[in-house]
């Protein structure tokens, strides 16, 4: 677990979390009012053109403001507005980005700006990884989930009908700019979904952070600026620390997928976009905790405690009744699976995760207990 950085006297003043990946190192900037501040974009690679990648929901709110802030840096700023939703995170939507780049004659110095949530960030990042075999990109996450998780660490992907995030790349952004002000326009359901990924960091890496979230969950739901600032910063610190040690998920990084094996099965099984990713992760964490308990790793009180917090965050703690066979089938195509064996991220003890297999019978018990 990384050391907790000093709390700033002004909680929403600019904080910079470095992510150390050698020549691919970059900074996560966190603060209020960053979107409109031209200084947020200083030092990015020089280019004649930029392309803002956003979606139909975010564009009316923030596209013009980002465009104005970038106008000093780039002679031309293009925009491509994608349809919204996890169910559109596919090749045909990705191709809209390539169409825009080529139709506008964008060369391989063009900088892409991902302005949106996790879906926009995943697609803009993957497009940047592939366009002319790689152009620079910047993450400008507009959801809590993207700020605390998906915009950091360089995982990009699109979905395949047979599995979530199955086609993608490890490709690091030049910078992540988290403007805390944009969280004010986030629907409550999306705020809760983001809190799932915030809560995640407690059980896997930082028991003290779990205590802090419990104390501050109401402030977070009320969008208290200082509380949100701390949650984003601490989440990014932990994620940067994990990714800095294991960029391409050879080992440690897999712990960030706590709740995701069950969660991806819920998302795919229900049809992408029915459950928000964060909702599926919230419920998936309850299942993974139940599994950890059945494996003798944590006690019932700890499972109850974290489950209560997930529920207080406004997240579902009961899974859809897809049937255990369907859950198992969906989980066998998880990227952590090896030779047909599903690998689960479990809680070895409060604040520490591990990756391991589990007997199907135990998984069926968990599903029976958690689904209806």
**89 tagged catalytic:** no
By beta-carbon proximity to its own copies, the closer residue of 33 and 105 is 105
Q: Which stretch binds its own copies (CB under 8 A): 162-170, 195-203, 205-213, 236-244?
A: 162-170
Please tell me the distance from the alpha carbon of residue 195 to that of residue 148, in angstroms, as a whole number: 9
**Strand pairing category for 163-170 and 155-160:** antiparallel
Give me the phi and psi of 168, to 5 degrees please. Answer: -170, -165
Closest approach of Cβ 49 to its own copies, in Å? 8
Single residue of 7, 56, 95, 184 touching its own copies by CB under 8 A: 95
CB neighbourhood size of 127 (10 A): 28
Please tell me the distance from the alpha carbon of residue 213 to that of residue 127, in angstroms, as a whole number: 35
Q: Check residue 132 for interaction with its own copies (CB under 8 A).
A: yes
**249 tagged catalytic:** yes
Q: Where are the strands (E) in 23-120, listed by range?
A: 26-31, 49-55, 76-82, 111-116
Please tell me the distance from the alpha carbon of residue 197 to that of residue 283, in angstroms, as a whole number: 11
Of the listed 88, 89, 155, 164, which one is catalytic? 155
**What tokens were used for 55?**
């979606």
Q: Check residue 167 for interaction with its own copies (CB under 8 A).
A: yes
Q: Check residue 22 for interaction with its own copies (CB under 8 A).
A: no
The DSSP 8-state label assigned to residue 40 in this structure reads G
Could you give the string, one character per residue 169-188, with x where binding to its own copies holds by CB under 8 A and - elsewhere?
xx------------------
Single residue of 155, 200, 239, 260 touching its own copies by CB under 8 A: 155
Q: Which stretch binds its own copies (CB under 8 A): 18-26, 59-67, 124-132, 201-209?
A: 124-132
Q: Check residue 338 for interaction with its own copies (CB under 8 A).
A: yes
By beta-carbon proximity to its own copies, the closer residue of 39 and 248 is 248
Single residue of 83, 163, 273, 351 touching its own copies by CB under 8 A: 163
**Strand pairing category for 76-82 and 26-31:** unpaired
**What tokens were used for 361?**
């019978």
H-state helical runs in 271-313: 277-294, 300-312
Please tell me the distance from the alpha carbon of residue 231 to that of residue 253, in angstroms, as a whole number: 20
Q: Check residue 189 for interaction with its own copies (CB under 8 A).
A: no
Measured in whole angstroms, how far is the alpha carbon of residue 27 from the centre of its chain? Answer: 16
CB-based contact 119:86 (threshold 8 Å): yes
Please tell me the distance from the alpha carbon of residue 159 to that of residue 142, in angstroms, as a whole number: 21
Could you give the string, one character per residue 198-237, with x where binding to its own copies holds by CB under 8 A and - elsewhere?
----------------------------------------
Residues 339-368 that bind its own copies (CB under 8 A): 339-340
**200 tagged catalytic:** no
**55 tagged catalytic:** no
Measured in whole angstroms, how far is the alpha carbon of residue 103 from the centre of its chain? Answer: 30
354 beta partners? 346
Q: Check residue 107 for interaction with its own copies (CB under 8 A).
A: yes
CB neighbourhood size of 98 (10 A): 15
By beta-carbon proximity to its own copies, the closer residue of 168 and 202 is 168
At residue 210's C-alpha, the angle toward residues 207 and 212, to 5°, is 115
**214 tagged catalytic:** no
Single residue of 10, 61, 64, 91 touching its own copies by CB under 8 A: 91
**257 tagged catalytic:** yes
Closest approach of Cβ 164 to its own copies, in Å? 11
**What tokens were used for 259?**
């709740």
**277 tagged catalytic:** yes
CB neighbourhood size of 316 (10 A): 18
Q: Which stretch binds its own copies (CB under 8 A): 51-59, 163-171, 173-181, 252-260?
A: 163-171
Residues near its own copies, by CB under 8 A: 48, 91, 95, 98-99, 102-103, 105, 107-109, 129-134, 155, 157, 160, 162-163, 166-170, 248, 332-333, 335, 337-340
Q: Which residues are catalytic?
A: 133, 155, 197, 239, 249, 253, 257, 260, 264, 277
């Amino acid at each position: 677990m990384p050391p907790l950085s000093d709390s700033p006297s002004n909680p929403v003043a600019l904080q910079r979390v470095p992510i150390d990946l050698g020549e691919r190192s970059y900074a996560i900037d966190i603060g209020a009012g960053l979107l409109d501040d031209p200084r947020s974009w200083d030092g990015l690679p020089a280019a004649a053109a930029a392309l803002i990648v956003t979606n139909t929901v975010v564009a009316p709110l923030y596209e013009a403001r980002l465009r104005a802030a970038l106008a000093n840096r780039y002679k031309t700023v293009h925009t491509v507005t994608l349809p919204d939703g996890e169910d559109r995170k596919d090749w045909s939507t990705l191709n809209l980005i390539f169409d825009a780049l080529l139709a506008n004659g964008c060369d391989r110095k063009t900088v892409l700006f991902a302005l949106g949530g996790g879906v926009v960030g995943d697609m803009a990042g993957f497009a940047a990884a592939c366009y002319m075999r790689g152009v620079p990109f910047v993450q400008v996450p507009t959801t809590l989930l993207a700020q605390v998780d998906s915009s950091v660490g360089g995982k990009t992907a699109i979905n395949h009908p047979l599995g979530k995030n199955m086609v993608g790349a490890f490709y690091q952004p030049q910078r992540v700019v988290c403007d805390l002000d944009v969280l004010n326009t986030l629907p409550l359901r999306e705020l809760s979904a983001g809190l799932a990924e915030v809560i995640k960091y407690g059980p896997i890496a930082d028991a003290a952070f779990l205590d802090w979230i419990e104390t501050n969950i109401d402030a977070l739901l009320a969008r208290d600026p200082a509380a949100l600032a701390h949650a984003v910063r601490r989440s990014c610190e932990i994620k940067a620390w994990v990714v800095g040690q294991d960029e391409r998920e050879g080992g440690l990084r897999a712990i960030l997928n706590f709740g995701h094996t069950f969660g991806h099965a819920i998302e795919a099984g229900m049809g992408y976009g029915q459950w928000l990713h964060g909702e599926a992760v919230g419920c998936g964490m309850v299942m993974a905790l139940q599994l950890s308990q059945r494996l003798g790793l944590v006690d019932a009180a700890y499972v109850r405690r974290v489950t209560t917090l997930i529920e207080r965050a406004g997240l579902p703690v009961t899974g859809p009744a897809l049937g255990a066979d369907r859950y198992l089938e969906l989980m066998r195509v998880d990227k952590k699976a090896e030779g047909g064996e599903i690998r689960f991220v479990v809680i070895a003890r409060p604040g520490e995760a591990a990756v391991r297999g589990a007997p199907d019978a135990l998984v069926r018990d968990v599903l029976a207990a958690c689904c209806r």
